[in-house]
Amino acid sequence: NYYRDVNRLLHAVQKNATKGDPRSVVKAIDNFCRQKEWAMNVGDEKGCILDSVVSEVNPVTVLELGTYCGYSTVRIASLLPPRAKIITLEFNPDYAKIARQVIAWAGLEDKIQVVEGPSGEWIPKMKEQFGVKTFDLVFLDHWKDRYLPDTKLLEDCGLLRKGTILLADNVICPGTPDYLEYVRNSPRYKSQYFKSHLEYTKAEDGLEKSVFLG
């Protein structure tokens, strides 16, 4: 079942990665997913696009929707300036438990806050609970049918500012058609598609990078 799989992924990290070395954690997960069991991490190919966007934005406050095992959380956090922070929301408590241990193995606990529960409930509480003003970068990688409602919720809660970057995974596979239509046609966004492949496969997928224009 799902939980046993993610547990084996954690053991592969603890066996093959160097404690406190985020890049070796990323490498260990990619090797495990290529050689042993596929898993829905953003992966190494799309991960390089993620890295370049993070380095370009140099965000101080990041929101990740969909932690899963913490692969992209570790990837992003390893590129952040010292006092930058990531809040990452995960609906599934089993995934959150694994992610916390992967993040601890990478030694990035101080930069990352894993929050469990539905994104729709947590987004309206961001300001009061975590003292967030606005996000510099949002990485969407959770339920594909939540991308659009949660983006509208972020707008309505005043959590986006002029220049905030939204980066969405899986816009082709599994696909997020309503979200794509919205960010590509709304006058409030400038959108760009980065063609790639579904993690660890040859299937097409890609990331959509959208700048909120205010």
Closest residue by Cα to residue 36 from 18, 57, 60, 12: 12
Contact with ligand 77M (CB under 6 A): which of 30, 44, 141, 208?
A: 141
Please list every residue from 10 through 69 that binds Mg ion, using CB under 5 A: none
Indicate whether 210 belongs to the interface with Mg ion (CB under 5 A): no
CB closer to ligand 77M, 203 vs 213: 203
Indicate which of ligand 77M, Mg ion, none lies near residue 113 (CB less than 5 to 8 Å, by partner kind).
none
- Among 143, 155, 184, 194, indicate the residue that binds ligand 77M (CB under 6 A): 143
Distance, CA of 89 to CA of 156 (rounded, Å): 18
208 binds ligand 77M (CB under 6 A): no
120 binds ligand 77M (CB under 6 A): no
Nearest approach in angstroms of CB 204 to ligand 77M is 11
**Cα(44)–Cα(27) distance, rounded to whole angstroms?**
8
Question: Roughly what angle, to the nearest 10 degrees, separates helices 2-16 and 93-106?
Answer: 0
Q: How does strand 85-90 pair with strand 135-140?
A: unpaired
* 47 binds ligand 77M, rule: CB under 6 A: no
Active-site positions? 141, 144, 169-170, 199
SS3 at position 133: coil
Cα 40 from chain centre: 11
CB of 59 to ligand 77M, least distance (A): 21
